[in-house]
């Protein structure tokens, strides 16, 4: 039997490093962001429909994410159009991955697990969390976005407290060692339930 874990957490919470910890424990990992990158790459399934919807967002057979951000910046309603194209393709990519991995545990790394309704499709939800000060520091230390952009992303995501309330498991990423211990415990608990 395949157990599907939905792994989520707001920006800067340590979700990517936590996903890697699950992989180290032998879980198969599907990453929503990586899926979108594949769909937007040369030969990706989203290139043709995006070229039709937003011709100036595609160049050289690749969807240009920076141009898409500009388009959304000028016309926020464009985001809905983009999601209409991309979400079904991402869902298909996820379904194909699950079908290929009949492992005991498959981790689905999805930043918008709750926001897209995908939470209803998994067996357990793991929320990655840390205090708000650490979160803000992590994001701003990356140097890839302004404080204003960070606040804008936070405003679109479900608040951390709400996510934690809906979680079956919470991983606090205050240190790499602590996160690793928690992931080991979660995998052990799920394996125990599988063999119960």
Digit-coded pLDDT (tens) for 158-180: 999 999 999 999 999 999 999 99
3-class secondary-structure state, position 3: strand
How far, in Å, CA of 11 to CA of 142, rounded? 12
Measure Cα distances from 176 to 55, 71, 141, 181, 188 in Å.
43, 38, 18, 9, 18
Mean pLDDT of the 40-52 span? 96
Mean pLDDT of the 114-127 span? 93
**DSSP string covering 39-55, please?**
HHSTT-TTHHHHHHH-G
Boundaries of every domain in the chain:
1-27+104-196, 34-102
How far, in Å, CA of 1 to CA of 19, rounded? 21
CB 41 within 8 A of CB 160: no
Second-level CATH architecture of 1-27+104-196: 3-Layer(aba) Sandwich (3.40)
Q: Which residues pair with 31 in a beta bridge?
A: 109
In this prediction, residue 33 has a pLDDT band, given cuts at 50, 70 and 90, of very high
Measure Cα distances from 125 to 14, 32, 55, 102 in Å.
16, 15, 38, 19
DSSP H helices, the chain, are: 15-24, 32-40, 47-53, 65-74, 78-100, 132-141, 147-156, 160-166, 176-195
**Whole-angstrom Cα Rg for the chain:** 18
Say what the alpha-carbon torsion angle 29, 34, 35, 41 is, to the nearest 10 degrees.
-150
CB 161 within 8 A of CB 117: no
Q: Give this prediction's pTM.
A: 0.89
Mean pLDDT of the 92-109 span? 92
Mean per-residue pLDDT of the chain: 93
pLDDT at site 12: 94
Residues 6+ apart with CB under 8 A from 72: 78, 79, 82
């Amino acid at each position: 039997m395949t157990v599907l874990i939905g792994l989520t957490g707001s920006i800067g919470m340590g979700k990517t490093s936590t996903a890697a910890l699950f992989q180290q424990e032998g879980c198969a990992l599907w990453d929503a962001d990586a899926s979108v990158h594949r769909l937007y790459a040369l030969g990706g399934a989203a290139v043709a429909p995006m070229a039709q919807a937003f011709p100036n967002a595609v160049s050289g057979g690749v969807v240009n994410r920076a141009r898409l951000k500009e388009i959304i910046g000028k016309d926020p309603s464009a985001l809905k159009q983009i999601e209409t194209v991309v979400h079904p393709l991402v869902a298909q990519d996820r379904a194909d991955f699950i079908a290929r991995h009949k492992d005991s545990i498959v981790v689905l790394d999805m930043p918008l697990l709750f926001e897209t309704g995908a939470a209803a499709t998994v067996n357990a939800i793991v929320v990655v969390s840390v205090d708000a000060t650490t979160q803000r520091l992590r994001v701003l230390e990356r140097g890839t976005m302004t404080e204003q952009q960070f606040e804008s992303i936070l405003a679109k995501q479900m608040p951390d407290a709400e996510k934690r309330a809906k979680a079956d498991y919470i991983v606090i990423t205050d240190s790499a060692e602590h996160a690793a211990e928690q992931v080991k415990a979660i995998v052990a608990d799920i394996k125990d339930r599988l063999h119960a």
